[in-house]
Amino acid sequence: MTFRSVLRLLPLLAVAALSSCASQATGFTKVKIYRLNPSARIASVDPSVSFEQQHYLHGAVSNVDREARRGNYYTFFWNTQDTKQPAQIRFEYLQSATGFKKKQKTVVIHKVRRSYITRILVTGDEYHTDGKVLAWRATLIQNGQEIGSRQSSLWQ
């Protein structure tokens, strides 16, 4: 194989490599999960690790305020092509004190953009009485059709 023939193949290799890097057109692209324990002291050399806890506790002045924020925080990053129709995220979950009783939260987004971030919280009295979230599933629905789904490994 000569150098000239390798140069001819180079654009094809570049197209093949870059097409594998393309982002997903619709559905969930990333899920960020954070469990906030306000009484825990985070000791880390990296300041960004302790910053996340401080971010979720920002504005909580008293210990009662801090305890009310204890819980599970889910941030869903998602994309859609249709920006004219509303979308919704249905979040189903199981908590430690409720056994196999499935709970559900639904967030409806009326002004849809191509990429969106939705945050769902399980905090406050719900977290204190029913416990931490053990398993979950999130479903992205638009026009009555499921366009994306993510779930924890324990979800059945």
Domain count, the chain: 1
Reading the block at residue 88, the tokens are 């919704």
Digit-coded pLDDT (tens) for 115-153: 999 999 999 999 999 999 999 999 999 999 999 999 999
Residue 90, in any domain of the structure: yes
| Spatial distance between the Cα atoms of 51 and 42, rounded to a whole number of angstroms | 9
Residue 15, in any domain of the structure: no
Measured in degrees and rounded to the nearest 5, phi and psi for residue 53 equal: -65, -45
Domain coverage including residue 106: 26-151
Residue 91, in any domain of the structure: yes
Residue 102, in any domain of the structure: yes
Residue 4, in any domain of the structure: no
Digit-coded pLDDT (tens) for 72-102: 999 999 999 999 999 999 999 999 999 999 9
Residue 131, in any domain of the structure: yes
Residue 1, in any domain of the structure: no
User: Average of pLDDT values for 49-73?
Assistant: 95
Tell me which H or E stretch contains 142: strand 133-142
pLDDT tier, 154 (very low <50, low <70, confident <90, very high otherwise): very high
Reading the block at residue 60, the tokens are 């909580």
Residue 156, in any domain of the structure: no
**Strand 115-123, strand 71-79: pairing:** antiparallel
CATH of the domain at 138: 2.60.40
